[in-house]
Structures are given as C-alpha cells and as structure tokens.
Copies of this chain bind each other. A is one copy, B any other.
Amino acid sequence: MSAVSIGGEMRPFEWAARVYWEDTDAGGVVYYANYLRFLERARTEWLRSRGIVQQQLASEKGLQFMVLRATVDYRAAARLDDLLAVTVEPRQDTRTTAIFRQCVFREAMDGRTGERELLVEAEVRVVCVDAKTLRPRRIAEYIP
C-alpha cells in the first residue's frame, strides 16, 4: 500500500523538491524533461519508505526497475525557488509491471494561505527485471 491511513482517509505518499537554477531553462521555468527527475526522486523515496534501496536491490538480488512508458501532462510551470510536492500512487499492473500515477504540485508561498497548485500529472509504467538478463521478474514483493 502506498497510501497512509489517517483518520480513515487515504493520502498518497509525497516528497518535497525545491526548484534550483539547474532545473530551470531560459524560458524562466523548469525545463520539461526535468520534471521526470522530480518524478523519479519521489518514486525512489517511496521505495526507500518501504525499506527498498535500489543500490542494494541490484547488488543483493540482481534486480532493477526500468521505465517502459511515461505520459506527462504539463498544466502550469514551476519557477525558480518554488517548493514542489511530488506524489506517488502505485498500483500493480501485470505480474512484472506496475503503474505509478504521480502529480507535481506547487506549495502555497510562505506567508500566503491557499491551496497548492497542480502543475504536472503523469503516469509511469515500470517493469522489474533481472539486472543481467533484463528478463522480467515478479514485482509483487515490492508493490503489493
């Protein structure tokens, strides 16, 4: 389960990311490819929150994850110094694959009240493979 039960309500896992100069482009906003880095950081931290460290998964079990498909909808642009929240909602797909539904939100500015703003919606399909043969392996252990 990716979600945490709080008062009967399910909230997806989320991870914060700050926008630095490295993330932006000359348009003054985050470069479109770089949201995929934020998405991957959040998936990595979701795994870590479940006790799975990918470096160990590779060295101890010979397993790694590979992205098969990414669909990214850009709704609004993040800017320098924005504080982002990146969500992770996984679900099993096939025996060897999982689909992560992910959103990127901009947090309300310091000192301002109000809702956070949806910037990006994405869906990322991932397969678990044997790191040597690249053959698909059962993912159920990690994404029940």
Residues of A within 8 A of B (CB): 18, 20-22, 24-29, 31-34, 36-37, 40-41, 44, 53-56, 64, 66-74, 77, 79-81
Contact of A27 among B21, B29, B31, B69 (CB under 8 A): B21
Residues in B neighbouring A21, C-beta threshold 8 A: 25-27, 31, 40, 44, 54
The A interface, classified by DSSP as helix, strand, loop or mixed, is mixed
Tell me the minimal C-beta distance from A71 to chain B in angstroms. Answer: 5
Specify which of A22, A53, A69 lies most central, judged by the most chain B CB atoms within 10 Å of its CB. Answer: A22
In the complex, what residue of chain B is closest to A123 when comparing beta carbons? B71
Q: A24-B25, A33-B37, A33-B40 are in contact. List 9 more A-B contacts (CB 8 A).
A: A21-B26, A21-B44, A26-B28, A26-B80, A33-B36, A54-B80, A54-B81, A55-B79, A71-B72
